[in-house]
Each structure stands twice: as C-alpha cells, then as structure tokens.
Structure 1
Amino acid sequence: MKDPDAHANPPVDGGELIRFDKVTKRFGDNTVLDRLDFSVESGRHVTLIGPSGSGKTTILRLLMTLTRPDEGTIKVNGDYLTHEERGGKLVPAREKHVREVRKNIGMVFQHFNLFPNMSVLRNITEAPVTVLGMSKDEAEARARELLELVGLSDKADAYPTRLSGGQQQRVAIARALAMRPQVLLLDEVTSALDPELVAGVLDVLRDIARSTDITMLCVTHEMGFARDISDQVLMFDSGRVIESGSPDKMFGEPEHARTREFLSAVL
C-alpha cells in the first residue's frame, strides 16, 4: 500500500539542518571561502548579506553540488553531502549518495532555467515524477496547488517564452517547492528582473515564508525583503561570517564596522 505521507514535506524539529565545518573553496589563487563554519537550524529563514565576491553564492552552489569544497565537510540533515564513510574513513561520496542527500535541497536561481519546450505544468511535474517517483496525477495536483500559491493558476498550459520574467521566476519557485525540499535556496532571485516585476516575486516569497515552515537560505541585495522574512542575518566578508544576529540587530545596531559600512552603502 502506498504511504500517504511519502511525498509530504519533512517534519521541522528545530534541529541542525545544514552544517559547514571548516569549508574552504578556492578558484585559482582566490580563496572564496576560508575555513567557514556555520549552521542553519530546521525551519529557520537565514539571509546572507555582504559585498559581491564575499562567498555567499558559493555557499549555495556547494549545497547544490554545482561545485565541491577543497577542504572541510558539509552535512545536510545529519548526512555528509560530498563525502561518505567507508571502511571507517571519510572519502569522496559516490554520485548515488550525493543525489540522495541533495534531494532534500531545492534552489531558485537568478536566471529561471525553465525548459522552454515544456509547458508550465510539465516544468513543475517533471522532477517529482522522474526523481521522486510520484504518480503523474499526484504531481499534477501538487503543481496546480503551487501555481495557485504563486498566483499563476491560469498559466498551467502556457510555455515559458509566453511569460514575463516575473512569471517565469514564480514558476521556478513552484518547481523548486514541488520537490518538497527541506531547505529552499534563493540566489538573488530578483536580480535578473525588470524593476517593476521585483515586488511581485518578493511578495510570493514573503507569503511562502509566512505560510510554510520550510527552511530558507537566501542571498539577496533586497535589504527590505531580508528584514521582513529573516529569523537570522549573516554578514559575509572575505569568505567568512563576520557578524550575525536578528534583523533588528543587524539592520538597527550592527556591531562590526564592516557591516555598518556595507549597510550604509546599500540602504
């Protein structure tokens, strides 16, 4: 008999969901992350702020295994992401292991990355059917719920090229949520949009943050949005977290001179 909860969102228990342990990432001579330690608790909304090149997007790319750490380890829900234990030793993970752990993670990119030859509905259902093994009917029912959530109920049969940039990004958000991830990664999701489309996408994300308990890890230069949705804000500089705290503290009374300098430039 099919388990009715097989495709339900995983429970949120407030425990540690993501852990970076002394993670270093270099690109040539440039050290982008420098022995980074940080963690994200289940159900929390955490925003990474800081200047371009400080390592924020690299963190998301490491979690999606689009790149691998040079040193250190990453855990998701207690499991190593790019390593596994074999014969009592920690070794680089096999692809099957990586895929299994990565299923807990969804990401919305700066650019929408929709399949242009697929309808909106199929863009959303393709991965749940092929990766999670959902039935087509179940995946379509879930997709239609999500299209209603992002305000696109009437676009199920449309193709991406017929949508505005803001509509495409909302489809991308629905597609990420369709996999029922434990954590949703948001990488400058409004940076490729025309200014008049930004507010609509941010409103959708605010609704998701308020109405669900999904964990969010967000990189953004939209400081008002960061203040609205975040439980915790982390300030990055030169590949390290130099300050963290609540939105009220970080935007109202930051302690570090570099944080004050950055915020004075962007607010």
Structure 2
Amino acid sequence: MPTEPTVPDTPAAAPGPVPDKVRFDGVTKRFGDHTVLDGLDLAVAPGERVTLIGPSGSGKTTILRLLMTLERVTGGVIHVDGEPFSHMPSGPGGPGGKLVPADERHLARRRRHIGMVFQQFNLFPHMSVLANLTEAPVHVLGLGKEEAAERARELLALVGLADKADAHPTRLSGGQQQRVAIARALAMRPDVLLLDEVTSALDPELVAEVLDVLRDVAATTDLTMLCVTHEMGFARDISDRVLMFDGGRILESGPPGTLLDDPGHERTRSFLRSLH
C-alpha cells in the first residue's frame, strides 16, 4: 500500500518587532521665530514610563500638547503604534506613500487612546463627579450609560473617592479635584497617559495624595506614561527613564537612579540643585 509523502513541518514565523508606542521622528515645533522643539527624536516603548524634566520653556509640555493634538508639528512626524499620528497618507497608496498633515477626522480617531491630566483640573462645575467621568465615554466612545457609570465608580474607588460620586467639583478640595481628573482621564481607557505638572496648582499638603494615586496607577496598569514634573521623588518612583530637556533638545537620558543621582552634564546638575 503506497504511503503518503512526508511533508516537513513549516517552522512558525518569528514574531516581528513590537512597534514603539510613541515615536517622534525629527519633530520641530516653532512659534513664530521661537523654536520650542528642535528636531526631536524620541521613542517610547509600550508600557514604558518616561519622565521629562528641565527648566521652563525647554519643550517638555509641548511634547504632551502635540500628542493631545492641541498643537501641530512644524516639521517631522509623530508615530503612535507604528503608524503616522501627526500625518496621514495623501491617497490610497497606503504605507510607504507620501504623508500629509493629518486632518481632524484622522486626529480624532487616533487620539481616542491618549489621555491627559493637566495642571488645572478642568472639571465641569455644573455636573456631579460621576457625570464628569461618564460624559466622554458615553458620547465619544459610545459606551452605554450603565457601563460607563460602573466603570466610573470603579475608578473613583481606585482614586479613593468612592463616596464623592454625587458631589459637585466645587465641594471638593484641590487634591480631590485632581484625583477626579485622573479618574476622568482613565475613564477613556487610554493606552497612553500624559501628565503635565499635575501637582503644580495644589497646596503643598495636597501634593502627596495625588502622587500616591498616580503611583498606584503606575503599579497596577500597563499604561504607557509620559510625565512632566518637578517632583523628583515621584519621578524616581514611577519612571523607567528620565529625560533632561534644555533648549528644545534632550540633553541626556537614563534610568532615574543614574540621571538623578549622577547626571553627566553640569546643566542637569545645576537644574536639580535649583529644585532644592
């Protein structure tokens, strides 16, 4: 009886490289004649926590505002998940085709997965805390009201405000309002969380409660995080990498234990001394 020919096993294809979660390729941002970012190259891996430090005006917050599409790049391209974010293909040619600045539809679709917590809380004062958390998930993500409310209550518990769902923001302390703002950002189920000096508008005694919440978020989620802060203890606790900015460029970078304790540049040492 003839036997079937033996077919050798086909080896499984090796997995391809995981794309950077966020990548800036030669990104420049100018306001008139003033260059805020100067040909920035920066890659952030999925799940990486990166803290940006440096003097005021060095370009740190501009990076976050570009990712939130509050500003447009002057030159270069931003990629998210390996695909153009600040730009889009000019036609049906697909990958490899010419890129043009993204239109609003492209930006709205891509920024859904990016959340930001600002210096100011920006809560809706006429809405309850729960409504502040459910408004965008219902109207932007299309979640049902019950699902959005359930998620909102879980997040309020996470930030230690489970008993404040029915309160209005004006009845809360600054620290509590910022914790609500953190929960609101998380309610949009972002992959990337941007934190812009989230304690700078708080009285000193309220700073610790907000930073403790963010430490918990960092410890219990796999979010990619970009954080601008002058709180070096916080940067040390949550960061995989710290970047020192000066004049719109990265002056140096490294693990927090290296850059904060033994920086290689005098400019970094001078900046860190100025914080004490």
Q: Which residue of structure 1 aligns with residue 4 of structure 2?
A: none
Deviations 1:34-89, CA, capped at 9 Å, x for gaps: 01110111101100000110000000000001010111110111221221002332
Among candidates 108, 113, 120, match of residue 117 of structure 2: 108
Unpaired runs of 5+ residues, structure 1, are: 1-12
What letter is aligned with 1:244?
Answer: S
One-letter amino acid of the counterpart of residue 240, structure 1: R
1:23, 1:37 within 8 Å by CA — same for their partners in 2?
yes
Residue in 2 aligned with 1:216? 225
Q: Does 1:177 align with 2:186?
A: yes
Gaps of 5+ in 2: 1-16, 92-96
1:57 to 36, 54, 61: 61
Q: Distance between the aligned counterparts of 1:251 and 1:109, measured in 2?
A: 24
Q: Secondary structure at the match of 1:31?
A: strand
Give the Å deviation of 1:242: 1.0
Match of 1:22 in 2: 26
Residue 119 of structure 1 corresponds to: 128
Q: Find 2:241's aligned residue among 223, 227, 232.
A: 232
In 1: Cα distance, 2:75 partner to 2:84 partner: 13
Structure 1 vs Structure 2: percent identity of aligned residues? 71
* CA deviation after TM superposition for structure 1 residue 15, in Å: 4.3
Contact 1:14 1:43 in 2 (8 A): no
The answer to whether the 8 Å contact 1:79/1:101 transfers is no
Structure 1 residue matching 2:250: 3-state secondary structure:
strand
Matched, 1:73 2:82: no
Residue 90 (1) aligns with residue 94 (2): no
AA of the residue aligned to 2:135: E
CA distance in 2, matches of 1:207, 1:252: 24
| 1: CA distance, partners of 2:147 / 2:230 | 36
Q: Distance in 2 between matches of 1:125 and 1:153?
A: 15
In the alignment, does 2:146 pair up with 1:144? no
* Secondary structure of the structure 1 residue equivalent to 2:123: coil
Q: Deviations over 1:168-203 (max 9, x none)?
A: 000000000001100100000000001111000000
Task: Report if the CA contact (8 A) 2:19-2:82 is conserved.
Answer: no
Distance 1:123 1:113 in 2: 10
Instruction: Please tell me whether residue 45 in structure 1 is matched to residue 46 in structure 2.
Output: no
Alignment partner of 1:42: what SS?
Answer: coil
Q: Which whole-Å CA distance do the structure 2 matches of 1:82 and 1:254 have between them?
A: 33
1:116 maps to a residue whose letter is P
RMSD: 1.1
Return the letter of the residue paired with 2:220: S
- 2:161 maps to a residue whose letter is L
Contact 1:17 1:42 in 2 (8 A): yes
Q: What is the CA-CA distance between 1:141 and the residue it aligns to? A: 0.5
Q: How many residues align?
A: 255
* Distance in 2 between residues matched to 1:78 and 1:118, nearest whole Å: 38
Q: Secondary structure at the match of 1:103?
A: helix
- State how far apart, in whole Å, the 2-side matches of 1:78 and 1:15 are: 5
Please name the residue that 1:3 is paired with: none
Question: Does the 8 A contact of 1:24 with 1:70 survive in 2?
Answer: yes
Farther off after superposition, 82-91 or 31-40: 82-91
Larger Rg: 2
* TM-score computed with the length of structure 2 as normaliser: 0.90
2:210 maps to which of 183, 194, 201: 201
Q: Using the TM superposition, give the Cα deviation of residue 14 of structure 1 relative to its aligned residue in structure 2, in angstroms.
A: 6.5
In the alignment, what sits opposite 1:10?
Answer: none
Provide runs of 4+ in structure 1 moved above 2 Å. none
